[in-house]
Amino acid sequence: MCPGNQRNVRSHLFDAVLFDRDGTLVHDVPYNGDPSLVRPVPGARAALDRLRAAGFRLGVVTNQSGVAGGRLAPDDVTRVNARVEELLGPFDTWQVCPHGERDGCRCRKPQPGLIVDAAAALGTTPRRCVVVGDIGRDMAAAGAAGATGILVPTPVTRPEEVAAAPTVAGDLDAAAHQILRRSRLVPAGTARPRRGTVLVARPDSAGDVLVTGPAIRAVAAGAERVVMLCGPRGRRAAELLPGIDELIEWRLPWIDPSPEPLARSEVDAMVDRIAAAGPEEAVLFTSFHQSALPLALVLRMAGVRRIAAISDDYPGSLLDVRHRVPLGIPEPERALSLAAAAGFPCPPATCPSCGSAWPSRRRTWRPDTWSCTPAPPCRPAPARPSGTPRSSPRSPAPATASWSPAGRTSCRSAPGSPARPRSTSAARPRSARWPP
């Protein structure tokens, strides 16, 4: 079993938190080789202990170019690191880059090597790590590795680094609070038997559709069949997402930046179109400034029995799951939290039994255990050279098709991507453009 899967994971969002050392955990003393000069920043121990208690594995990722420059011996770094552990408690991995700026190594931040190696040492992937640092290099390394960055600025952090940071926390306690809050929003949950046809909606632009991808993947892991409602500006992105069986395109006048007048005949036809797709339930993804309620009304008219959405506005009988999320949560996590609230918890990135990457073909997935099914056989991920980023398996792109209200449906597979075997009577994915 993969070591990362032995831990009792409460959230499938993050497994580990990786800290920069100088300026983040301890006050920065340039090229420090003297353990007696190690002084933790205020609140560091308590913040780390909160994360340890919550089950996170902790690591340190630190540039020590003083070694390459001859100002520090490797033993000096080791002694200082030991003093840091003495004061702040144990870390599960230490990753140190001893190289200089001109060495062109793969590990010196903003290169991603330290984060990749720390994740590997902890049995997880960079995507499930948070990197906490005090300067832009830390955030750039996090981004390059595919990890989540949180900047904790100090007086020497430049304003442009603060402005560019994915998220900012005032101190380590606030960073720990943010990590715990974001994790709780996306609980691992209990996987349930697959449900029937589920409609997911993200009716805006391509970027909005792509950041909703992980949440749609979570829904796909728990549904027999997924129908996606998208807008014309998001259609090309929607076609790239795995796990979607049918696409319906509709320009929603209450979302579109150049809205056309809304005609009753158009709504009537869309109600019929959605009813024909037969979703038993729906998960409506929105940006924080949009209301899901008009679309919920259309879906209710189409007979959708269970509808989940984020709504601060009172939804009355339009929503069965009214989810609420604090401001400032990154959109992919916001969407994942809605999927989890709707009963589609975020699946782990790898099979808990064999550690292989999440199967690209949903037929191989057992939602009750989050494991691969035996057929096709559950294969371990191929061995890769240390430091090589793990590539995720590519799913075949959904076949595309044109749809017309007269029922003429023509399907064509995307080049080089055979249609997947289906579990339902809909043997081939269909998609629709609306209005036709």
Q: Which residues are known to be catalytic? A: 20, 22
Query: Given the complex with Mg ion, which of 152 and 221 has the nearer CB atom?
Result: 152
Least spacing, CB of residue 28 vs Zn ion, in Å? 19
Residue type, 48: L
From the list 6-14, 22-30, 90-98, 414-422, the region that binds Mg ion by CB under 5 A is 22-30
Among 15, 20, 161, 246, binds Mg ion (CB under 5 A): 20
Question: Looking at the DSSP assignment, which residues form a beta bridge with residue 19?
Answer: 60, 132
Among 11, 13, 17, 23, binds Mg ion (CB under 5 A): 23
Contacts to Zn ion from residues 108-127, by CB under 5 A: 108
What element of type H or E holds 75? Answer: helix 74-88
Handedness of CA 151, 156, 162, 165 (dihedral sign): negative
Three-class secondary structure of residue 301 per DSSP: helix
Kindly give the pairing relationship between strand 57-63 and strand 16-19: parallel
From the list 21-29, 250-258, 307-315, 408-416, the region that binds Mg ion by CB under 5 A is 21-29
**Binding characters for Mg ion, 123-152, by CB under 5 A (x = yes):** -----------x------------------
Least spacing, CB of residue 102 vs Zn ion, in Å? 11
Q: Which residue has the tokens 């007979």?
A: 303
> What residue is closest to Mg ion based on CB?
23
Query: Given the complex with Zn ion, which of 113 and 243 has the nearer CB atom?
Result: 113
97 binds Zn ion per the rule CB under 5 A? yes
What element of type H or E holds 58? Answer: strand 57-63
Per partner kind, with CB cut-offs from 5 to 8 A, the member of Mg ion, Zn ion, none near residue 23 is: Mg ion
Please tell me what DSSP assigns to residue 18. Answer: E
Per partner kind, with CB cut-offs from 5 to 8 A, the member of Mg ion, Zn ion, none near residue 22 is: Mg ion
Kindly give the pairing relationship between strand 148-151 and strand 195-202: unpaired
CB 223: neighbour CB atoms within 10 A? 26
Whole-number Cα distances in Å, 85 to 35, 39, 72, 96, 213: 11, 12, 19, 14, 39
**Number of residues lying near Zn ion (CB under 5 A):** 5
Residues that bind Zn ion (CB under 5 A): 97, 99, 105, 107-108
